[in-house]
Chains A and B, each alone.
Chain A
Amino acid sequence: MKTSPNVQRLSLTEPIVQGASVAASLSWLPAPVLLIAVLCLWAFGPVASFESFGLMAVNTFLGYAVFNAVAAALIGRSFIEHRRPSLLLIGCGAVIWSCSGLVATLDGWGLLRRAVDINSLVTMHNCCTWVASYCHLAGVGLTLNWRVATQKPRVVLALAYALAGALAGIVVLAAYAGWLPTFFIPGEGGTLVRHFVLSSAAGMLALTTVMHICLNRRASPWLRWYINALILLAVGIIAILVQKVTGGCIGWVGRGAQSLGGLYLVVAALLSRDELLTEGTSLWQALSEMRQKWPVSLAIAAALVSLSAAGRLLFLSYLGARFPFATFYPAVLVAAAYGGLWPGLAATGLSVAIVFWIRISADIALGGDHFLALRVAYFVLICISLSWFWKGIHQLQKRAIEAEAEAGYASERAVAAEKLRETETRLRQSEQSFTTFVNTANEGVWVLETEGTTSYLNKRLAQIMERPKSEVVGRPAHEFVYPEDRPLFLQQLEILRRGSVSRYELRIPRKDGSVTWLHVSSAPLFDEEQRVRGSFAMCTDITTRKKMEEELLQLNSHLEQRVSERSAELWRLNVELESFCYSISHELRAPIARLDAFSRLVQEAVVEGHSEELPYLTQRIGVASGKMRVVIDSLLLVNRLSRAELHKEPVDLSQLARLIVDELRDEAPGREVLTRIESDLLASGDRAMLNICLRNLFENAFKYSGSKEVVSIRFGFQESSGAYFISDRGTGFDMDFSHRLFEPFSRLHHDAAFEGTGMGLTIVKRIVERHGGRVWAEGRPGEGATFFFTLEEGGCGDWYGLTGGGDEQAIAVAG
Chain B
Amino acid sequence: MSIVFYVLAGLTVAGALAAVALKNTVHCALALTVAFAGLALLFLELDAQFAGFAQILIYIGAVAILVVFAILLTRGSETPKDTVYSNKWLLGLVTAAAVFAVLGWAVLHSTEALPHETAKPAVTVMDIGNALMGRYVLPLEIVALLLTAALIGAVIVAMHEKEGAR
Do they bind each other?
no
Chain B residues within CB distance 8 Å of chain A? none
Which residues of A pack against B, CB within 8 Å? none
